Amino acid sequence: MSIDGWLLLVAVGFLLGYIVGHRHGRAEGFRDGAVFAPIEMRRESLERGRCTICGTGTGTRKAPDPDGEARNEAASPSRRSSPERE
């Protein structure tokens, strides 16, 4: 076999390897994206305090307490109106 035949055989081999690898990589990437997308959307929604799909919010946001504990600003006893005060 001449050098031209070997070069053609090597080129075809690389081309077939590229095509098979590309298809396998796309399929694997699609599976990874399908697994990762819901987790990423949930993380983003929790960070923003709003749904990334419909935009509805929780209505209250938790602010950090000076003592390091999270507390709900809207439900704070100092801001809640009680029947005794009215």
The count of C-alpha atoms lying within 13 angstroms of the C-alpha of 17, restricted to the half-sphere facing its C-beta, is 6
Q: Cα dist. 1→5, 6, 11, 15 in Å?
A: 6, 7, 15, 20
Q: At 76, is the pLDDT very low, low, confident or very high (cuts 50, 70, 90)?
A: very low
Q: How far apart are CA 72 and CA 79, in angstroms?
A: 11
What is the full DSSP assignment across 10-51?
A: HHHHHHHHHHHHHHHHHHHHHHHHHHHHHHHHHHHHHHHTB-
Residue 74 has pLDDT above 80, yes or no: no
Q: What is the mean pLDDT of residues 57-74?
A: 57
